[in-house]
Structure 1
């Protein structure tokens, strides 16, 4: 398999994981966690969340903190997927002026994610 074909396969796999990850927010934390490798890390301005227990706590707190109006306002402003890396720029005005997520996907699971947001 050529390097280009491997890159295309990795991009397609990352796109599938990203699509599931975005849809999983409607189904709750267990669905969200199903996208993460056992050894995954989520890096935020507040620190590093390692493994399923800490990542679960991060998403539970996030979901508790948003109202239904947040989801109505949520939009993806830019999405780039290149190989194993997915990059999102999103917003949910007036709650979040801008946020970014970068995900690294290997073997069908998120292994690293970074997240930051700016309040409106």
Structure 2
């Protein structure tokens, strides 16, 4: 069940049974695929100027701040050489929760979790927490 995203491997994924949840799932998978393909325009197409991302370090508000965060994050993911394993995905209407891990030539993410509030196929609110280690930290 990879839904056409070659760099995302699906684990325990809930089955989406309603139209709103299906749109939310499509938005989340588009975001993940864009992130791990280093497609900044694709990532940003999921957000609006009123979107926010809340992380442990900072809250990013609006397209400008979100783009700065995403550009910094995307530097660690080598296009085509990053593998994401989606361990769990639960979607209830406009709320999506994912747990995942990933590795790239530059970064290892042993565990990460995101929660998304999605309206009209746009991420309005997004939380993120993850254990990110550069390969230098691991060696």
- Unpaired segments ≥5 residues, structure 2: 1-16, 134-139
Q: Segments of 4+ in structure 1 off by > 2 A? A: 65-70
Structure 1 residues 100 and 23: CA distance shift in structure 2, 3 A: same
Q: CA deviation at 1:9?
A: 2.5
Q: Which residue of the partner structure matches residue 62 of structure 1?
A: 73
Tell me the TM-score normalized by structure 2: 0.73
- The answer on 1:71 being equivalent to 2:74 is no
Q: How does 1:97-116 map to 2 (within 5 A)?
A: 97-116=110-129
Q: Which residue of the partner structure matches residue 88 of structure 1?
A: 98
- The answer on 1:53 being equivalent to 2:61 is no
**Contact 1:10-1:84 at 8 Å conserved across structures:** yes
Which is further off, 46-55 or 59-68? 59-68
Q: CA deviation at 1:23?
A: 2.0
RMSD value over aligned CA atoms? 2.1
The alignment of Structure 1 onto Structure 2 pairs a total of residues equal to: 113
Question: 42, 50, 55: which one pairs with 1:31?
Answer: 42
| Per-residue Cα deviation, 1:78-101 (whole angstroms, up to 9, x for no partner) | 111111011110012571110001
Q: Distance in 1 between matches of 2:109 and 2:81?
A: 8
- Unpaired segments ≥5 residues, structure 1: 1-6
Q: CA deviation at 1:70?
A: 6.6
